[in-house]
A and B are shown apart, each in its own frame.
Chain A
């Protein structure tokens, strides 16, 4: 696959499902190890062209969050957003599943869903298909 084809494929399906766990596609620089999600053509850190595709861990930790009460018409409000930190040293913004208020430091796992977006598309299609949800064991871990 060319890098252009790879980029197009990732726009359509930015994750893999393995054993029921959802893992985000990301790009890692083979030169300096920097990780980008979504991937990019050239590493910003060292200028290396062509990142290798990796799958992020299916779980991460909430770095910060908000509850959005006013948005554009294609979203139903209110909804929760989080920045989630992954062990691969990359931070990804994802909407949270469910109504419960997120907490900084809480462990979460990625689940599939349409999120807050009011769309007809199948949940598998497009970057808005991803949400985060609470893991059973993650409650109250390490508030700042």
Chain B
């Protein structure tokens, strides 16, 4: 079984792109990743492409725009984990020994397509009764408040941190810092979550070129980053009365990634996690075992998750600051981890970072805890 390396990374700016199609965004990310890797179009042996609301054959459209056709292309829809599931599939095909150079792309053009709050699929009984995605997380936040004394100010500090980090990321959607008071003054979406605690609607694309150990050596590969583990899980059926502040889905994906990589939570130097809402970041890092359960929001206020803190979380700005083009998000997280590990993260560089973790978790469907969750651990 071959080790898998990220040899190239590319990403468009996230934000509103009214003048571009999803295919154009995807092609731009792919070409940047190819150039970064120093490989040509013909080197790509297979591709996995994640998107959510882009219709049929997004991969063929984006790769066709980018000059790639004829190879096996697999289109992936796994809610917000679509892009990171594409990475998982691409990595599997290299580990299996089938291919030496495989592309993973995530792409989404969301603006104009949606207004208001995301909901689960309309066939879902809970959606028919009025459940929205913000409401799911708002209800989990209310439990975090009740069980651990978490406050709105603490959750707002998570948003403020990520939006501050985004200012140092030229590809981020938000360019201005937002204070805790400004977060709390923004309008309520689902109590206790305010507008500034919800990820925005975004367009964007991100791509990585994965390579086998053999191909990495052929490329020279001094900037290659090892994908030490890539784990994918789906949500288990909800049976019984479970603690909704506990992320079983996140933990099961993390546990597999820790086991396969031999890297434990205490070895992780920084993390990009799926902060679709402020409370979500707390649930993720606690579920990953990176912070003690119930304590994360208070520790954010103390600065422990800042870029110069004990364990920086969402140094890229996260979904809250960088933006959340659904299918692209999971790939963009890995692009960020790669750039940090190469020392190419500019003003947001975490000094001496050698182990980074990317966590992406998507969706809600009736009767299961969540749709899908990936944990990728990368190292140099």
Residues in A105-131 with C-beta less than 8 Å from chain B: 115-117, 126-128, 130
Indicate which residue in B129, B139, B187 contacts A66 across the interface (CB closer than 8 Å).
B139
B241 within 8 Å of A by Cβ? Answer: yes
**Cβ of A133 < 8 Å from any Cβ of B?**
no
Does B117 interact with chain A (Cβ within 8 Å)?
yes
**Nearest CB in chain B to that of A67: its residue:** B191
B135 & A91 in contact (Cβ 8 Å cutoff): no
Known contacts A70-B117, A126-B128; A44 and B139 CB within 8 A of each other: no
Q: Are B238 and A91 in contact (CB under 8 A)?
A: yes
Q: Chain B interface: which size bin?
A: 35 or more
Q: With A44-B236, A64-B139 known to touch, is A70 a contact of B129 (CB < 8 Å)?
A: no
Smallest CB gap from A86: residue in B:
B241
Do A64 and B116 contact each other (CB < 8 Å), given the known contacts A70-B190, A128-B129?
no
Q: Which residues of B contact A85 (CB under 8 A)?
A: 241
The answer to the question of A1 belonging to the interface, with a C-beta cut-off of 8 Å to chain B, is: no
- B238 / chain A contacts, CB cutoff of 8 Å: 91
Cα A4 to Cα B117 in complex, Å, equals 33
Bound Cα distance from A14 to B126, whole angstroms: 13
Q: Is B217 part of the contact surface with A, judged by Cβ < 8 Å? A: no
Distance A77 CA – B160 CA, assembled complex (angstroms):
27
Q: Provide the bound-state CA to CA distance between A65 and B139, in Å.
A: 5
Q: How far is the CA of A91 from the CA of B143 in the complex (A)?
A: 14
Minimal beta-carbon separation of B238 from chain A (angstroms): 7
Given contacts A36-B367, A69-B188, A69-B191, contact A64 B143 (CB under 8 A): yes
Is A137 located at the chain interface by the 8 A CB criterion? no
B158–chain A nearest beta-carbon distance, Å: 18
User: Known: A69-B190, A71-B116. Contact between A127 and B139, CB under 8 A?
Assistant: no
Chain B min CB distance to A74 (Å): 9
Find A40's partner among B119, B132, B367 (CB 8 Å cutoff).
B367
Q: How far is the CA of A115 from the CA of B127 in the complex (A)?
A: 12
Give the chain B neighbours of A63 by CB distance below 8 A. 143, 241, 244
Closest to A85 in B: B241
Nearest CB of chain A from residue B143's CB, rounded to whole Å: 5
Q: Are B142 and A69 interface neighbours, CB within 8 A?
A: no
Residue A144 CB within 8 A of the other chain: yes
B147 within 8 A of A: yes
Q: Which of A47-100 contact B (CB under 8 A)?
A: 63-73, 75, 79, 81, 83, 85, 89-91, 93-95
Within B188-212, the residues touching A (CB, 8 Å) are 188-192
Q: Does A34 touch B at the CB level, under 8 Å?
A: yes
Asked whether A93 and B189 contact (CB < 8 A) given A104-B146, A144-B147, the answer is no
Indicate if the CB atoms of A66 and B241 lie closer than 8 Å: no
B167 to chain A, nearest CB (A): 26
Is A45 an interface position by the 8 A CB rule?
yes
Q: Give chain B's interface residues, CB within 8 Å of chain A.
A: 116-117, 119, 125-126, 128-132, 134-135, 138-140, 142-143, 146-147, 187-192, 236-242, 244, 366-367
A interface vs B, CB < 8 Å? 14, 34-36, 38, 40, 44-45, 63-73, 75, 79, 81, 83, 85, 89-91, 93-95, 104, 115-117, 126-128, 130, 143-144
Q: Can you list 14 A-B contacts with CB-CB less than 8 angstroms, sorted by A residue number? A: A36-B237, A64-B146, A65-B139, A66-B138, A66-B139, A69-B190, A71-B119, A83-B244, A89-B241, A91-B241, A93-B129, A117-B128, A117-B130, A127-B125
